[in-house]
Amino acid sequence: MNSAELLGLLLPPVSYDPNGLRIKTELSAEGIQLDKVKEHAQLVLGAITPFYAGNLLSDWERLLAILPPNESTYQQRLERVIAKLAETGGLNVPYFTRLAASLGYTITINEPQPFRAGQGRAGDRIYSPDIIHVWEVNIFGSSTPVYRFRAGISRAGERLTSFGDAIIETIFNDLKPAHTYVVFKYFEDIQ
């Protein structure tokens, strides 16, 4: 039963005839608007969780201070929102390793050190003193993910297939200390 019929049933039975020409037109117009409100209310209800947010995913991104790249697919954006909600905080190597594991990545982190007298040996790489602000994230066992267009998850206008691993790189760049620089290296086999 649509809203126009329900509104007709609310009329006093003796005073108004719901089948009258003018009243029927008015009930139809108001019923259409109520049906639209009901439909939009379902969309808002789905946005309580990011899994069913649909077009309201941008509100989740705004609340979590996520700025997705322009070429991001809906799936990539949804993964970033879920990862951001799962963050617990931390700035040490074990924290970033656990975060990557929760996203499905096997990583190691190297912190290159400058050559120092008394510590360095012949054959060691000589870095500048500023290398202490750089850390390397080695990602093992997964080739760069492929995002394919899927009905129900993807949106109109997105590419049918997109390649890239913006998820882990963006999350790490968002969480890293501001004075540091992260270098990402990808390896196909697990160490």
- pLDDT the model gives residue 163: 55
Concatenate the DSSP letters of all residues of the chain into one string.
--HHHHHHHHS-TTT--TTSHHHHHHHHHHHHHHHHHHHHHHHHHHTTSGGG-GGGHHHHHHHTT----TT--HHHHHHHHHHHHH-----SHHHHHHHHHHTT-EEEEE------TTT--TT-----GGGGGEEEEEEES-PPPEEE--TTTS-TTS-SEEE--HHHHHHHHHHS-TT-EEEEEEESS--
pTM over 0.75, yes/no:
no
- pLDDT the model gives residue 23: 87
- pLDDT the model gives residue 87: 73
What is the block-wise mean pLDDT of the chain (191 residues), using blocks of 10 residues? 86 80 89 91 84 87 86 87 80 88 88 83 81 88 72 85 72 87 79 56
- pLDDT the model gives residue 22: 87
